[in-house]
Structure 1
Amino acid sequence: MIRPVLRLKPGRQFPFLSRHPWVHAHALADEGRNLNCGDVVDLIDHDGNWVARGVINPQSRLRVRLYGYDQSTEIGPDLWRDRLDRAIARRRISGPMNPEGAERLVFSESDLISGLIVDRYADCLGVQFTAGGLLKWKDEILEHLKTTLGARGIVVRVDEKTAKHEGIDPLEASHGSDDLTGTVEYVQNGLRLTVDLSGGQKTGGYLDQRINQEIAAGYMRGRRVLDMCCYQGGFGLPAAAKGAASVLGVDTSASALAAAAQTAQQNSIENVTFEQGDCFDWLKDAVENGQQFDAVILDPPRFAGSRHQVDSAMRAYRRINASAIDLLPPGGILVTCSCSGRVSRSDFLNMLMDVGRRRRRDLVMLENRGPAPDHPVAISCPESDYLKCVIAEVQ
């Protein structure tokens, strides 16, 4: 079969020889603007040697996503079905499926399907396409997921930010069910939760922190806890349910706080309250007013969406962590997180060391955690190692 061929600029082949899946437009000698979104292309180095096979989107700066590093790999429905099956089987390595629970079944680059996220909430699926080129096979992918998993229904989304970057239209649609306009119930960390597959973040919620949330709750027993950037109470509600003296959750989103309060009521959790506020301003005021907590949880949104934002992100992390330490007495517990893939784990730990130095406080790290096992890391794509969760005692 004759395919379009894209040539790399001199010396740009090495990441792809190491099986990194992202080819940005600036790495290409021919940017392929005359091709159609979803076309299968072969990538060659500047000397004409075959490197990899992928799918192009001429409207995206991430011009080609690579899916094959052997010339025998054919990109199409059979490949997607095979990789979906392998991704689902990979989740069962760590244990059996909880039919009432939630899990990530497909994690984009980490499952060798760059541009596809699939989350399961009980018997329903939330699917997010982040690669415009994959939409060419959307129906085949969704049908295989529904048939293989016996899903009651699927909500498919392409959010506005992704659509802008990929040069495609936003998308939100149901597949196989007309009754997924409301919420779906599932169980996580002993709590009965609901998720809005259409109106929530990403595929409806966040699943990567759920084991960290359970582990952190064990450190909160008997403590007065501040859960900053609490969103819908992922950290704070398990802590309150498992013995915290009190939990105060703070977030900028009124709708997220309302959802958290509703979850607390549904699970008969009474030792939690919520306030709306900006994390920087709220923490600054709390320090100035002399407030104290026995534990502070920091789970802010992504501060660095690109490499150009890393410096400002590090300043933001220093600021909120310094304020958190100021709110803790000796022996207090700090749970601090970063979901910025551009911020490395070593950079995050160095930031904490710097904060401790500036505040003249010792931080003793008790746990240095990542995401749940259903969010695996592709060694060839370091960006997939994005989540950091440090639990430390502050002296």
Structure 2
Amino acid sequence: MISATPTGKVVLKPKRALPFYARHPWVFAGATERVEGTPADGDVVDLVSSTGNFVARGLFNSQSKIRVRLYSWDEAVPLDRAFFKERIARAIALRHDVLHLNHGSAAAYRVVFSEADVLSGMVVDRYGDYLTVQFTSLAIGMRREMIAEILTELLNPKGIYLRTEKGIGQLEGLELHDGLLAGETPPAEIMIEENGLKFAVNLAEGQKTGYYLDQRDNRAVVGRLATGRRVLDAFCYSGGFGVYAAKAGASEVESVDASEAALRLADRNAVVNGLSQITLTQADVFNYLGKMATEGRTFDLVVLDPPKFARNRAAIPQALQGYRKLHQHAMKLLAKDGILASCCCTGLITSEMLEDLISQVAVDARRDLQILERRGPAADHPVAAACRESGYLKCIISRVW
């Protein structure tokens, strides 16, 4: 049984407390002076200033660069089961009582979004009658059985499936494997509904926790712009943008992805929505876009939705090169008065960096570009004001002459 009360204190270096008084949840090792007591990894600790004043309460991990993840700024509050139940219930209330996303047995939405819900290291998604959970914190992962019990009490799912993130073992010392956490094993295919469209989701094999719920509203926007247009959906995964475009009356849609499994899902989603104008192409997206540009092919709407290109700051220059290359291809593929949807889920790439890059590529291509919308994720993926890093997704809609 993990104690809910502090087993030690982490003392900050002088003049390093301000971000944590302002409720930023990540205390990196470089900000800490020393540890008092003998807290084990996963234990509750108090964060105190260099003068000994209480700052916040969190969970300790000596194996992580994030030495303490903070959860409460009230010294009287233990990080016990009741605390986590109240915090999860508050996250659920946003999705149910404010956003009204819990409509029917085929609803799909993010239930808990880590730092944005002041639950650093935990993501929970709902897909119909099932939940997927992902732990990116050792301490929260150690409490997984308690978390599963709370989710069962509050949401009564048929089953809860655990998904793991690549590289998290090295970053956090957390050794978990994908598999059933509680209840029934989910079927190989779960059919969800999104804005009147149907999508097949595989919780065990799909990317992230099964589907890109964060792009829900952006897919709808692209759909509204696609009527009568020839559409290219690059890095299509299970075909979301392409399905929306085809349903809205796109004259043709080409969906491209390197993954055969993803394209099987995309084909399934085209069929269940009664769409026949979608062509699926398995190829390396960079190479294929370059090939089409060389052949002189053009589209009226191009969606670029690549996976994350950088997981640390050292990889940012290479990531920017990747985004630049994609947009260079897109400028050649876009017909006059075309629409470009530029998506970026690399949190280390800011909106300003992405806009600057797109603008530079347009100038180099001698194209005029108008930014129509600056968008982010759907509202069930909120941004914590105290942790702007939670605002990772960018979607810039542009018109290109």
TM (normalized to structure 1)? 0.95
In 1, distance between residues paired with 2:82 and 2:143? 11
| Secondary structure at 1:43 match in 2 | strand
Correspondence for 1:98 among 87, 100, 103:
103
Cα displacement (A) at 1:344: 1.2
> What pairs with 1:352-363 in structure 2 (closer than 5 Å)?
352-363=358-369
Q: Pick closer, same or farther for the CA change 1:2–1:319 going to 2, 3 Å.
A: closer
Aligned 8 A contact 1:9 1:28 in 2: yes
Kept in 1: contact 2:161–2:185 (CA 8 A) = no
**Structure 1 residues 378-387 or 24-33, which shifts more?**
24-33
**Matched residues in 1 for 2:35 and 2:250: separation?**
56
How far apart are residue 131 of structure 1 and its match? Answer: 0.8
Q: Residue 63 of structure 1: which of 60, 63, 67 is its match? A: 67
* SS at 2:169 equivalent: helix
Which stretch shows the higher mean deviation, 11-20 or 169-178?
169-178
Instruction: Tell me the residue number matched to 1:342.
Output: 348
Other structure's SS at 2:347 match: coil
How many residues matched? 395
Q: Does the Cα contact within 8 Å between 1:56 and 1:63 map onto a contact in 2?
A: yes
- Cα shift at 1:137: 2.3
Query: Counterpart of 2:191?
Result: 185
Partner of residue 320 from structure 1, selected from 326, 330, 340: 326
Match of 2:25 among 11, 14, 21: 21
Pair 244,147 (structure 1): closer, same or farther in 2 beyond 3 Å? same
User: TM-score, structure 2 length as denominator?
Assistant: 0.94
Counterpart check, 1:170 vs 2:138? no
- State which of 144, 158, 169 in structure 1 corresponds to 2:164: 158
The answer to whether 1:232 aligns with 2:238 is: yes
**Of 245-254 and 177-186, the range deviating more from structure 2:** 177-186
Note if contact 2:298-2:334 (Cα within 8 Å) is conserved in structure 1: yes
1:364 has 2:370 as partner = yes
**Which of structure 1's runs of 4+ aligned residues deviate more than 3 A?**
31-35
Quote how far apart the aligned CAs of 1:173 are: 3.0
Residue in 2 aligned with 1:380?
A: 386
Structure 2 residue identity aligned to 1:4:
G
1:307 aligns with 2:313: yes
Q: 2 CA distance for matches of 1:302 and 1:33? A: 39
Aligned counterpart, 1:43: 47
Aligned counterpart, 1:76: 80
Extract unaligned runs of 5+ from structure 1.
Answer: none
Asked if 2 retains the 8 angstrom alpha-carbon contact of 1:232 and 1:257, the reply is yes
Which sections of structure 2, spanning at least 5 residues, go unmatched? none
Question: Between the two proteins, what is the percent identity of the paired residues?
Answer: 41
In 1, the alpha carbon distance for the partners of 2:224 and 2:6 equals: 59
Report the alpha carbon displacement of residue 28 of structure 1 after superposing the two structures with TM.
1.7
Distance 1:4 1:179 in 2: 39
1:102-160 Cα deviation digits (max 9, x unpaired):
00010000001001101011111111111110123222211111121121111123334
Indicate the larger mover: 351-360 or 117-126: 351-360
Partner in structure 1 of residue 150 of structure 2: 144
Q: Counterpart of 2:214 in 1: which secondary structure?
A: coil
Pairing 1:121–2:108 present: no
Residues 235, 256 of structure 2: 8 Å contact kept? yes
